[in-house]
Amino acid sequence: MTPAEDFPIHVIDDDAAFRRSLVFLLESMGWRVCAHASAEDFLAAAPEPATAACLVLDIRMPMMSGLELQQVLRQRGWQVPIVFITGHGDVELAVQAMKHGACDFLEKPFKDQVLIDAVGRAVKLGCEARARNARCEAAQALLDRLSPREQEVARLVALGQPNKLVGRALDISEKTVHVHRQHVMEKTGVGSAAELARLMLRADPAALD
């Protein structure tokens, strides 16, 4: 397994010895690991979200807890996959963490393989998410080129409506619709209404609702 783009895995645990051992373990897989003694330290270092492969996060910490950090990250819109670690079999905390999008929840003591698998999955999820984001952003960038009228026309075309109906819906002539359609195809570089629909869905899965 190769961590995509060689982004580091961030380990956040207040127990120095355990933190060091996690780093040592993850590094033995050839992964890059960054260690932080607390959630605050992590936020202070403030790596760009895109540059974190995943977080390995102790759920109980003296100041800001793991769950609180998860909240902060969500509020900031950072969708970093998180593997939670806890010393207590805390089902309630686990449910809460998973509800808020945690990848995994490991209870100490755990087998090293379990952690490695979990981190691997998280890293992969992160990569996929990042790739999805990249595609979405690219599509959005193409669509952003369209004028508002062209966007309206593009949406109706993507829904598979003929020019005549589009013109009637937008109260414009069929000919004008045809011109807009030509511009849309040129600006986005798609060849058909189906391709246009796929592009729009990639940018926004709810675009055609």
Partner 1 sequence: MPALVASRRLVRALCLVLALTSLACAGQPPALAADKPLRIGVLAFLGTEAAVVEWTPVLRRLQAALPGYAHTLVQLDHDGLQAAARGGELDFIITNPGHYVELEAALGASRILTLDVGGGRVPERALGSVVIVPRASPLRALEDLPGHRLAIVDRDGFGGYQLVWGELDRLGIAPESALAALREVGFPMDGVVDALDGGQADAGVLRSCLLETHPDWAARFRVLSPRAEPGFPCATSTRLYPDWPLATLRHTPPELARAVAIALLGMRHEQDGLAWAVPADYQAVHELFRRLEIGPYAYLRAPTLMVLAERYWPWVAGFALLIVGWIAYTVRVEHLVQTRTAALRAALAEREAMEARMRGAQEQAEHMSRLSVLGELSGTLAHELNQPLAAIANYANSLVRRADNQRLTEAAVREAAGEIAGQAERAAGILGRIRAFARKRTASRETVAPRELVDEAATLFRGMLAHAPAVGIDEALPPGTLIEVDRLQIQQVLLNLLKNAWDASRAQPLERQRIDIRLDTDADRLRIAVRDYGSGLEPAARERLFESFFTTKADGLGLGLSICRSIAEAHGGRLSAEPPAASADFGNAGALFILSLPLHQPPPGHTTAHLAPEQP
Q: Which residue type occupies 99? A: K
Q: Give 15 or 174: the residue with its C-beta nearer to partner 1.
A: 15
Of how many residues is the chain composed? 209
Min dist CB 18 to partner 1, Å, is 5
Give the C-alpha separation, 102 to 96, whole Å.
9
Q: Give 54 or 85: the residue with its C-beta nearer to partner 1.
A: 85
CB-side neighbour CA atoms (13 Å) of 96:
12
Q: How many C-beta atoms surround the C-beta of residue 51 within 10 A?
A: 14
Q: What is the contact surface with partner 1 in residues (CB under 8 A)?
A: 14-15, 17-18, 20-22, 24-25, 27-30, 60-63, 87-88, 108-113
Min dist CB 42 to partner 1, Å, is 18
Q: Give 17 or 206: the residue with its C-beta nearer to partner 1.
A: 17
Q: Give 29 or 72: the residue with its C-beta nearer to partner 1.
A: 29
Give the C-alpha separation, 80 to 51, whole Å.
9
Min dist CB 50 to partner 1, Å, is 27
Q: Give 74 or 108: the residue with its C-beta nearer to partner 1.
A: 108
Min dist CB 113 to partner 1, Å, is 8
Min dist CB 86 to partner 1, Å, is 9
Give the list of residues 6+ apart from residue 80 with CB closer than 8 angstroms, or none: 49, 52, 54, 55, 73, 126
Query: 3-state SS of 1-62?
Result: CCCHHHCCEEEECCCHHHHHHHHHHHHCCCCCEEEECCHHHHHHHCCCHHHCCEEEEECCCC
Give the C-alpha separation, 87 to 9, whole Å.
21
